[in-house]
Amino acid sequence: MSGRSLFDKIWEQHVVLPENSNTPAILYIDLHLVHEVTSPQAFDLLRSNGISVRRPDLTLATMDHSTPTVPVSSLKDLKVVAEPEAFNQIVQMEKNCEEFGLELRGLGNSERGIVHVIAPELGATQPGKTIVCGDSHTSTHGALGALAFGIGTTEVYHVLATQCLLQRKPKTFAINLEGHLQSGVTAKDIILGIIGKIGIDGGTGHAIEYRGDAVKQLSIEERMTICNMAIEGGARTGMFAPDDSTYEYLYGRPHAPQDEAWDIALKEWKMLPSDDDAQFDKEVTLDVSKLRPMATFGTNPGMVIPIDGAIPSPSSSDQGFTKALDYMQLEAGQPLAGSPVDVVFIGSCTNSRLSDLRAAASVLNGRKVAEGVRTLIVPGSAQIKREAEAEGLPEIFKAAGAEWREPGCSMCLAMNGDFVPEGKLAVSTSNRNFEGRQGKGARTILASPLTAAASAINGVVSDPRTFIS
């Protein structure tokens, strides 16, 4: 019998009842992340069925998608700045959390922020945990060796009511990352390179484990960027085995185990990495030393090329590709670099952490964004905002002509007042470039914070390596 993978070990530890041909497995959930957009119907179902939340202590609630990124100090202020739908979601979330006894990291809370940013930051995301949230990018938490995936609204209800979830076991997929990154090439370029290689359905039905020599050079924040977009390659989730970087990241965080409990947890976490003879259902290798900064040109994250490459030609039968180029107002054969940019967004659960803001600042420092390019920089959490301010990053951004905002999902999804105007081209550090994702008719190019900042300075899609000495 072959060894077990990281995924197999966590799965087996959490199966309450195994699956059979008729029924999925019942899986125990260690941490349920709840936010204002996908929870209202779940709370309504609890209410109408007279059910309470089974484990409020294992439920972490925040507000991120609908919250405005301008300062708001009262509900009266909120009503002025928020869209009516967003306002209602925020007010309802406050009511639901109060009624069901959940601690909410709401608007005025010092720990608030994007759900996938604050849970690791608080140390609530830990190796070996099963973590779910009504949000596709829950895979982010796999960066710390957790098994984490997005769930639907009905499943949010199931987990709130039972702390368990019906789930079919995915297959395993090893993505081996080899080599050393070149200067100006980042974790975002790795994941865009992976999706370009495997396609947007390459991971369908699989749990990815990122492995290989290159992993050691990746910080936990970089691993979060890579896990965040596993879902964009079709995978159920993405994970990294916990290692010394994971333990250093978690040590001392408020929700991490303390004292003796830390020693016990550490022993358990060290048992989690895949066995040397673990078998995977699928395997792919990527030499990251060959990567260049990557940017998307179409309307899904798999339509991606190196920043200095030319947009490929569609095959005569690929109507979707032709439609995507029409939507993006780009032409096959033309270079992507040099396309005029209207908006730059640096933020989202993919790239709004302190290291991302530092990267952006390294390019913007002492320079000015091009005239007419709206540049929005949005920290992922209140804590990141404080840390960035302590380092003086906002002064760099503001001196460059960029806007420095309150934490939240912001322009990632255009439901909180921040959006890309119709027909305008945005370089965005978020994770989705679907039609209309950042606003009706908005055209989105996904890229790293370095590439986004370089594009803001030049006013056209730009290679960040020209800014790096």
Question: Which tokens go with 311?
Answer: 């947009």
Q: Is residue 116 at the binding interface for ligand SF4, with CB under 6 A as the rule?
A: yes
Residue 27 makes contact with ligand SF4 by CB under 6 A = no
Residue 308: how many other CB atoms lie within 10 Å: 13
Report the residue from 64, 121, 209, 356 that binds ligand SF4 according to the rule CB under 6 A: 64
* Of residues 245 and 352, the one with the C-beta less far from ligand SF4: 352
114 is a contact residue toward ligand SF4 (CB under 6 A): yes
Question: Could you give the C-alpha distances from 419 to 111, 113, 372, 375, 438, in angstroms and in order?
Answer: 25, 19, 16, 12, 5
Contacts to ligand SF4 from residues 396-455, by CB under 6 A: 409, 412-413, 430-431
CA distances to 222, 420, 430, 466 from 344, rounded to whole Å, are 21, 9, 11, 18
Backbone phi and psi for residue 358, each to the nearest 5 degrees, phi listed first: -65, -40
- Which residue's CB is nearer to ligand SF4, number 429 or number 455? 429
- Could you tell me the end-to-end alpha-carbon distance of the chain, in angstroms, rounded to an integer? 52
**What is the nearest approach in angstroms of ligand SF4 to the Cβ of residue 429?**
10
Nearer to ligand SF4, 215 or 344 (CB): 344
From the CB of 349, what's the least distance to ligand SF4, in Å? 3
Supply the minimum distance, in Å, between the C-beta of residue 114 and ligand SF4: 5
Do the strands 304-306 and 294-296 form a parallel or antiparallel pair, or are they unpaired? antiparallel
d(CA 117, CA 140): 9
- Residues with Cβ within 8 Å of 172's Cβ and at least 6 positions away in sequence, in order, are 5, 7, 8, 206, 207, 209, 279, 280, 281, 282
Count Cβ atoms within 10 A of the Cβ of residue 191 and give its class: 0-12 exposed, 13-18 middle, 19 or more buried.
buried
Nearer to ligand SF4, 114 or 190 (CB): 114
Give the separation between CA 253 and CA 420, rounded to whole angstroms.
36
Residue of 14, 112, 129, 137 that binds ligand SF4 (CB under 6 A) = 137
Q: Give the one residue of 144, 185, 218, 349 binding ligand SF4; rule: CB under 6 A.
A: 349
Least separation in angstroms between CB 115 and ligand SF4: 6
**Closest by alpha carbon to 42, among 117, 92, 82?**
92
353 scored as a contact of ligand SF4 (CB under 6 A): no
Give the interface segment with ligand SF4, choosing from 111-119, 159-167, 232-240, 270-278 (CB under 6 A). 111-119
Give whichever of 25 and 144 is closer to ligand SF4, judged by the CB atom. 144
Contact between 164 and ligand SF4 by CB under 6 A: the answer reads: no
Residues binding ligand SF4 (CB under 6 A) = 64-65, 114-116, 135, 137, 348-349, 409, 412-413, 430-431
